[in-house]
Amino acid sequence: MTLRPPLLLAVAALVLATSCTPGAGGGGGGDGKSFEFWSFAAINQKLSVDAYRAKRPDVEVKLTEVGTSVETAQALTTALAGGKVPDLVLIQGDNLPQFVQQPQNFVDLRTLGADDMAGDYLDWVWKQSVAKDGEVLGVPTDVGGMAVAYRTDLFAAAGLPTDPEAVSALWPTWDAFIETGKRYKQATGKAFTDNAATSVFYQAVNQVSEKYYSEDRKLVYETNPQVKAAFELGIKAATAGITAGQSSFESAWSAGMAQGQYAAVSAPSWMLNTIRSTAPDTNGKWNIAKIPGGSGNWGGSYLAIPKRAKNPQAAWDYIKEMQSPQGQLEHFTRVGALPSTPSVYQDPKLADAKDPFFSDAPTGKIYTDAVLGLKPFYIGPDSATIGQEFLNAITNVEQSGGDPATAWDDAVRNIKTAIGG
């Protein structure tokens, strides 16, 4: 779920006011030894920048963390319309399709050598950044293989198993996950999971064979039974009394995690670092089980170079170094972000990785298994907007007393308003 806290909106506005002056910028003409990099916040991009600077102390990287992934995409859209563009920008996967529709605004990375790198990446991930005439607009930074993080102490107190295999066996399906939540609630009187929108619906809808668009790129969100079934799972969880009603990444969600107000959360590989930093006192109390359905992906981003970048070569040098298979493997060892380069999946640094914070769970194997089982679907230019409205409708039922009987129709109506039909 992408959120828009007022503080981050203010940050985004400041970026636009100070660095997106209309008419500024222009392709080339930079010093070649520095570049401006826009990233979204809350992922500690500075770690990667610092790692690059250690290798290339002669290069200055001017990093701006704009705000949420949506705010970063909005700032980029404004800049592309005539303001000063960054040399390098991180675009979250759900926001990428809107830019793939406008290849004229970006450097075709084939001109810098992207063709030589294409085979290093998961094919379905690479294809998402390829425009209709073959232009390559972005290089994948990571994927978000899925699992469920759970509190072993809270499970034990509820009389539930704590061994990961036994826990995974509790929920082969999302219906079984919800039933497990009811068992937990009955035993403890407390919430089982954080929220229904991201921990149930968002995961289930990303396990489908066809999502909001058909393979021939037509909108099918309203008629696709797989989407409706995932939405109904979200509503079922929202009305079952098993959630804490805490939207992902908001302050109450963070406090709830630290205080043990819920016992399980759907956790992509990058979420582990969030849990670690949000609830440091819970070290050793977590473990990781399989996601219902066995595979899934939440997240993943791309690095792109706007057409009017002043220092495209310096930006490309960063991409080549930091997003190579070895570069992504090193990033995994720093923050746990799962590489999009499958050649390193058998490397002991990843394959044998265990995380002591999560009871020595074999995180490398768990998360690579989750993405290797995926069957990709087409993500269209309005996928992020469509998904957000479905999330909003479920959250409205869960947190604001919305009517579950009308939630689907409400979401569809809001989607049509948002995307113009």
Q: Which residue segment(s) compose the domain that 159 sits in?
A: 148-296+362-419
357 within a domain of the structure (yes/no): no
Domain count along the chain: 2
Provide φ and ψ at 271, rounded to 5°: -70, -25
Provide φ and ψ at 4, rounded to 5°: -130, 70
The Cα 349–Cα 332 span in angstroms is 9
48 within a domain of the structure (yes/no): yes
Domain boundary at 351, 374, 394, which?
Answer: 351
Query: Which amino acid belongs to residue 17?
Result: A
DSSP class of residue 291 equals: P
55 within a domain of the structure (yes/no): yes
Question: Residues 68, 88: one domain?
Answer: yes
Question: Residues 290, 153: one domain?
Answer: yes
The Cα 421–Cα 419 span in angstroms is 6
106 within a domain of the structure (yes/no): yes
**Rg (alpha carbons) of the chain, rounded to whole number:** 21
> Residue 32: what pLDDT?
80
117 within a domain of the structure (yes/no): yes
Q: Which residue has the tokens 């809350």?
A: 42
**Contact, 408 vs 224, CB < 8 A?**
no
The Cα 15–Cα 6 span in angstroms is 14
> Residue 170 sits in a domain of what CATH number?
3.40.190.10
Question: Residues 268, 406: one domain?
Answer: yes
Q: What are the structure tokens assigned to 131, written together?
A: 């425009």
Question: Residues 292, 303: one domain?
Answer: no
Question: Residues 305, 287: one domain?
Answer: no
DSSP class of residue 84 equals: P
Q: Which residue has the tokens 């490398």?
A: 364
**Model pTM score:** 0.87
Q: Kindly report the three-state secondary structure assignment for every residue of 158-221.
A: CCCCCCHHHHHHHCCCHHHHHHHHHHHHHHHCCCCECCHHHHHHHHHHCCCCCCCECCCCCECC
Q: At what angle do helices 312-322 and 45-55 cross, to 10 degrees?
A: 100
Give pLDDT tens digits along the chain (421 positions): 334 333 333 333 334 333 333 333 346 667 789 999 999 987 889 999 999 999 999 999 999 999 989 899 999 999 999 989 999 999 999 899 999 999 999 999 999 999 999 999 999 999 999 999 999 999 999 999 999 999 999 999 999 999 999 999 999 999 999 999 999 999 999 999 999 999 999 999 999 999 999 999 999 999 999 999 999 999 999 999 999 999 998 999 999 999 999 999 999 998 998 899 999 999 999 999 999 999 999 989 999 999 999 999 999 999 999 999 999 999 999 888 999 999 999 999 999 999 999 999 999 999 999 998 787 899 999 998 999 999 999 999 999 999 999 999 999 999 999 998 6
The Cα 365–Cα 345 span in angstroms is 8
Q: Which residue has the tokens 């061994």?
A: 163
The Cα 278–Cα 166 span in angstroms is 27
1 within a domain of the structure (yes/no): no
172, 339, 413 from 176: Cα distances, Å: 7, 30, 31
> Residue 27: what pLDDT?
60
Question: Residues 127, 183: one domain?
Answer: no
Question: Residues 134, 211: one domain?
Answer: no
> Which residues is 262 bridged to in the sheet?
none
Question: Residues 133, 90: one domain?
Answer: yes
The Cα 45–Cα 90 span in angstroms is 10
**Contact, 139 vs 419, CB < 8 A?**
no
> Which residues is 64 bridged to in the sheet?
38
Sign of the C-alpha dihedral computed for residues 363, 368, 373 and 375 taken in this order: positive
> Which residues is 286 bridged to in the sheet?
151
- Return the number of other C-beta atoms located less than 10 Å from residue 391's C-beta: 24
> Residue 374: what pLDDT?
82
Q: What are the structure tokens assigned to 379, written together?
A: 């993500």
Question: Residues 157, 124: one domain?
Answer: no
> Residue 51: what pLDDT?
95
> Which residues is 136 bridged to in the sheet?
130
Work out the burial of residue 348: count CB atoms within 10 Å of its CB; fewer than 13 is exposed, 13-18 middle, 19 or more buried.
Answer: exposed
Contacts of 377 (CB under 8 A, 6+ apart): 208, 209, 210, 211, 213, 215
Contacts of 246 (CB under 8 A, 6+ apart): 194, 195, 252, 253, 256, 261, 262
Question: Residues 263, 372: one domain?
Answer: yes
Sign of the C-alpha dihedral computed for residues 272, 274, 276 and 278 taken in this order: negative
| DSSP code string of 37-75 | EEE-SSS-HHHHHHHHHHH-TT-EEEEEE-SSHHHHHHH
Q: Each residue of 73-130: pLDDT tens digit?
A: 999 999 999 989 999 999 999 899 999 999 999 999 999 999 999 999 999 999 999 9
